[in-house]
Amino acid sequence: MKIKHCLVSYLFLFFTYQASSQATKKVRPTPPPQPTSKVWSAEKANVWYNEHNWITGANFIPSNAINQLEMWQESSFDPETIDRELGYAEGIGFNTMRVFLHSLVWQQDSVGFKNRINKYLDISNKHNIKTIFVFFDDCWNKEPKPGVQPPVKPGIHNSGWMQDPGDPYSKDTTVYPSLEKYVKSILRGFRTDKRILLWDLYNEPGNNNKRDSSMPLLRKVFSWARDINPEQPVSVGLWAWDFYELNAFQSANSDVITYHNYEDVPLHSRVMDLLKTTGKPLICTEYMARTRKSTFKDIFPLLKKYNVGAINWGLVAGKTNTMYAWDDPIPTGDEPKEWFHDVFRKDGTPYKKDETELIKKFTSQISPDISLDKKAFQSTIDGKNTNLYLLRNRNNYTAAITNYGGRVVGLWVPDKKGKLTDVVLGLASIREYQQPSGGAFGALIGRYGNRIAKAKFSLDGKVYSLAANNGQNSIHGGVKGFQKVVWDARQTSDKTLELTYLSKDMEEGFPGNLLVKVTYTLNDNNELKIDYEATTDKKTVVNLTNHSYFNLNGEGSGPITDHTIQINASSYTPVDATLIPIGKVEPVAGTPLDFTTPATIGSRINDTHEQIKIGNGYDHNFVLNKAGPDKLQLAAIVTGDKTGIEMQVFTTEPGVQLYTSNFNKGMYTLKGGGKDDYRSAFCLETQHFPDSPNQPAFPSTVVTPGKAYKTSTVFKFISTK
């Protein structure tokens, strides 16, 4: 939106006053308005901000809408265009859109409007995009009307954009009760919605020469929002630095600091420096006007460097005419020599490819400590899109998960010195995970984790034959187990990823249509929790697990034989020469499999015991000491000898498979450049026992219609000193 020239001297005076207990009368003789008790503290705001990846995106309106009403009214609401154009945004790594609402649409059809908001959020969530919703607006045309919107005026910037509620209504207190109902209705309906990042209550209050006359409505909208108290932060962006009263009120009452700036690097940097004196995180919710030297090339890296949210004006050039400059109309409608705003043409072609490449370069960077290219995980397999999803908790623990095979690609946790360490082996791209030799690195395993003897089992007298993909046996669900399918992904928050997959009847020989849901959560207790759920329409067998390869000294750091391990298991299931359980449960006491007290993994890994020789090390199911079924209990504790990173494993499952990479041969180049060498990682696969469908004495893995399969596993990390 058009703003006044950035008067840094005014800004300096304003924030000098804010920071000082004794402001001079030259600045202002009266103190700034005091915040309400519900305003977030700087500490709370920064905790919230640090839970999110770097916030990047654009102000969004579909290219076929001239203004907010045309976007949201039922007759012109266009989910297909929204879907397509948000796809452009996702393609360059944008994760946030700022979207304007309008009170007139709510007054026309409140239920329908909220349904359309929900539909929009479903679409944006599909593209891994969160939304900043804007309520009121003092910019551009002052007399909004419902119904058919005005035609585009060729070459004129935002010729049809409408204020909300408009003039004189923004100053007419008799309409405030209606506006209050509108604001509270929307906030109440979406106050806990994780798809919404932030509520921007009022865009550029005081614009169009309204100045302080916008203060009454500004005060009211903050009050209404605090009455509802949404889980998301609320803010109103600073934009005109000589609006002392408005700026003071906005700054004092915003949970996080948002602002607009269309200036070059020196002036923008000065604004950031001064805004940082609030102690709260910053999000620039409007920037990028090429002819004013506010460009992606200069400003985007600046915002990235200082971890300031970056929301430019304009995504797809269209009816808003924001490719044209504010005060430089082209009445012929010819395309300007240099676009003012916007990133894409309607067909998805970038206006400047070097700009979108720059954006992708910066948005694909996870953090300075993490080297992964998100673009390398964006592909299409079997007609479904793959991607890389990042989970991060408030302590900067980060998990990278792809929906191809539901794989944990990397997991970064701090070591005893605070250095982030990637403790999971993974590959650098989808293409590498698709290698014919496969590899189960980090994968979700199903329908049946581990082995089934002679690749067959029977249910109710019917024999089901499976793929023999491990000698004469079946392992990990067959030739195309769950580790080789594309899961439907839904990231519900920065900490949670939901994956779903429908395994069809007789897929890989297993009966029943099995609907599977797996939820990864990286919580603030430094736990990566995996919740498994499944339902079937036919009697079947299910045994789901995760096959992450861990090295607590860091991926590619060498053998794990000096890691210390303790397993809460007094017994195990001995195996035959093909690693199939022989049907017995035997004590670990007196064997190299006794980890009831801590020992290094390598202390007995080359023992002459028959079970060790069969597995060429450890590849055995341990029967956990359980107080009762379905309870989350400790399974194992492992500590890295070099990093001091301790991993505790909890599960509701009756068993855990310890595998020590006995058959790894260094054939894979890992994402950090190392190799998957012999005994360079260990797995702790929580599970029901191998071959349970053929072993009636083992806990049953049969699942029947009407009874859901549910298990949970937690990997908790502690940095020991």
* Residue 547 vs residues 307, 398, 560, 567: alpha-carbon distances, Å: 34, 18, 16, 18
547 is catalytic: yes
Omega before residue 151 within 30° of 0, cis: no
Sign of the C-alpha dihedral computed for residues 185, 187, 190 and 192 taken in this order: negative
Residues 398 and 526: their CA atoms lie apart, in Å, by 10
Exactly one of 547, 563, 620, 688 is catalytic; name it.
Answer: 547
Residues 671 and 529: their CA atoms lie apart, in Å, by 23
Sign of the C-alpha dihedral computed for residues 127, 371, 544 and 631 taken in this order: negative
Q: Which spans in 136-240 are helix H? A: 176-190, 215-228
Contact status, residue 503 vs residue 510, Cβ threshold 8 Å: yes
Strand ranges, E, within 101-222: 130-137, 196-203
Phi-psi region of 537 (alpha: psi -120 to 50; beta: other; left: phi over 0): alpha
The one-letter code for the residue type at 85 is E
Closest CA to 425 of 266, 563, 549, 578: 549
Contact status, residue 543 vs residue 452, Cβ threshold 8 Å: no
Q: Which residues touch 680 (CB under 8 Å, ≥6 apart)? A: 425, 551, 556, 558, 559, 560, 661, 664, 674
Residues 451 and 202: their CA atoms lie apart, in Å, by 60
Closest CA to 626 of 655, 649, 596: 655
Exactly one of 70, 85, 508, 685 is catalytic; name it.
Answer: 685
Contact status, residue 646 vs residue 717, Cβ threshold 8 Å: yes
Backbone angles phi, psi at 640, to 5 degrees: -75, 130
Closest CA to 548 of 476, 660, 441: 441
DSSP 186-200: HHHHHTT-TTEEEEE
Residues 228 and 225: their CA atoms lie apart, in Å, by 5
The one-letter code for the residue type at 610 is E
Q: Is 520 helix (H, G, I), strand (E, B) or coil?
A: strand
The end-to-end CA distance of the chain, in Å, is 52
3-state helix, strand, coil in the chain (%, to 5): 25, 30, 45
Q: Is 16 helix (H, G, I), strand (E, B) or coil?
A: helix
Q: How many residues comprise the chain?
A: 721
How far from chain centre, in Å, is Cα 614?
43
Let me know how many helices (H) and strands (E) the chain has, helices first: 14, 36
In eight-state DSSP terms, residue 316 is B
Q: Is 589 exposed, middle or buried (CB count within 10 Å of its CB: 0-12, 13-18, 19+)?
A: exposed
Q: Is 134 helix (H, G, I), strand (E, B) or coil?
A: strand
Omega before residue 705 within 30° of 0, cis: no
Alpha-carbon dihedral angle through residues 408, 666, 560, 415, given to the nearest 10 degrees: -50
Element (H, E) at 353: helix 353-363
Contact status, residue 446 vs residue 544, Cβ threshold 8 Å: yes
Residues 218 and 144: their CA atoms lie apart, in Å, by 19
Contact status, residue 636 vs residue 568, Cβ threshold 8 Å: yes
Residues designated as active site? 547, 685
